[in-house]
Structure 1
């Protein structure tokens, strides 16, 4: 179990940290500009998603390029499609519910209920992450076994 936890932390923690910063920055900027809780919640959700998935995709692409290069294969558009498919399988089910319902609602309501904007945003992100990671980690195990074998294909 320790080994799995380390693997998950290595995979997800850098993206989580970047996502937290993007979420806070977007929430602050949009709230200041619009004074709209709904717009703030949506902007924070999507900024966090872009940062999170952008970093994971970049890391996956780099890892796949290195693995294929060691085997003498080029990284192709087809390989990029495989990287994207693996991410979709890993996060698709978790992301739909998270981005369309859970995270925006928490980002909208928690700052109001707590009476503190930044604490509410961070707590909302953390609570949404719990509901996100349960299906995401299960899907990661599936994608790891079946969809992340790029170095053996020409």
Structure 2
């Protein structure tokens, strides 16, 4: 299936929203909590430093949950068939996560999220409101790209 068809499917499919929500909800709760806690750095550091600190803290929380959940699901599946989780299973998890999150994460962590976390507090005049608005703006771009990858991988039977 072409990239355009995957994007079209995503834009039209409201029934898949629950699947996406269930896949990312716990990681997003952890990331949002981390971003809010990280916003306290704005009292100590400059805007750009705080923007990158929040981005890295948020990423650590998000991917800790994503990796933990992926491993737990793999382990659960293996236990059901009475198999131990092997090193090749872990490599498969890493490969799938890189395919799903790879370029969206690179764009997000280096450009989109720091840009939003820096400018929106300035534009709103309030660091907490601006950080939440920046997070939402960055999340829209990140999740759009990530879901395109996720749907493409499902169609290619990577999961």
TM-score clears 0.5: yes
Q: TM-score, normalized by length of structure 1?
A: 0.89
Q: State yes or no: 1:10 paired with 2:26.
A: no
- Tell me if structure 2 keeps the 8 A contact 1:41–1:108: yes
The ranges of structure 1 where at least 4 consecutive aligned residues each deviate by more than 3 angstroms after the TM superposition are none
**Structure 1 alignment gaps of length 5 or more:** 149-154
1: CA distance, partners of 2:17 / 2:118? 31
What secondary structure sits across from 1:106 in the alignment?
Answer: helix
Deviations 1:102-128 (A, max 9, x none): 100110111011101100000000000
- Tell me if structure 2 keeps the 8 A contact 1:111–1:121: yes
Q: How many residues align?
A: 146
**Structure 2 alignment gaps of length 5 or more:** 1-12
1: CA distance, partners of 2:91 / 2:15? 29
Q: How much is the aligned-residue C-alpha RMSD, in angstroms?
A: 1.3
- Give the equivalent residue in structure 2 for 1:40: 50
- Give the equivalent residue in structure 1 for 2:31: 19
Q: TM-score, normalized by length of structure 2?
A: 0.87
